[in-house]
Amino acid sequence: MDGGPLYKVQHHSGRILGPVGLDRIKRLIKRREIRGTEVARRYPEGQWLSINNIPEISEMLLLQAQGKLQDPLDSLQTSYEPILSNPHSRAVVHAQAMKTMILDSRPGRPKDDSEQLTELITLGNQAKIVDLSESGNEDPTQRVRGDDFHQNRSSPS
């Protein structure tokens, strides 16, 4: 938070936001989520007022209506310099020093082919597990009752 005053804002949808600081309110105004029809109060103790009667917020709403409200992040950008304009700039050297890492497999997946592809088919209180990884003529299914299935799912096999 920005350390300034905090407010509770009743959003035009009816939802109450907050406590939020002026920076957050500014972002909400910039994203057109606060339109000027809301009511707000100073947090923790304040009276609900039209948001336009709170000077700091009404000023931001006026600037937004004029197209002059700057995003808080816009003020941090002081100048634009293409990265490739100076091949010895720190940004280019840093980017050239970075290495690309290629992962062997997807994270959290076994590295071998021991996985079993199955499908669960439920009908009422019964469940049928179909093994899709085998391609034989035999019926590779296992029938279980719904209660047994849920108990077996909670305990590792």
Torsion of Cα atoms, 114 then 115 then 117 then 122, to 10°: 120
Q: Which of 149, 95, 93, 94 minimizes the C-alpha distance to 121? A: 149
pLDDT at 61: 93
Q: Quick one: tokens of 9? A: 């804002």
Q: Which of 53, 37, 35, 39 minimizes the C-alpha distance to 10? A: 39
pLDDT at 142: 56
pTM beyond cutoff 0.85: no
Tell me the CATH number of domain 6-74, given options 3.30.1490, 3.30.70, 1.10.3470, 3.30.300: 3.30.1490
Q: What tens digit of pLDDT does each residue of 36-60 get?
A: 999 999 999 999 999 999 999 999 9
- Beta sheet of 6-10, edge-to-edge order: 16-21, 6-10, 39-43, 49-50
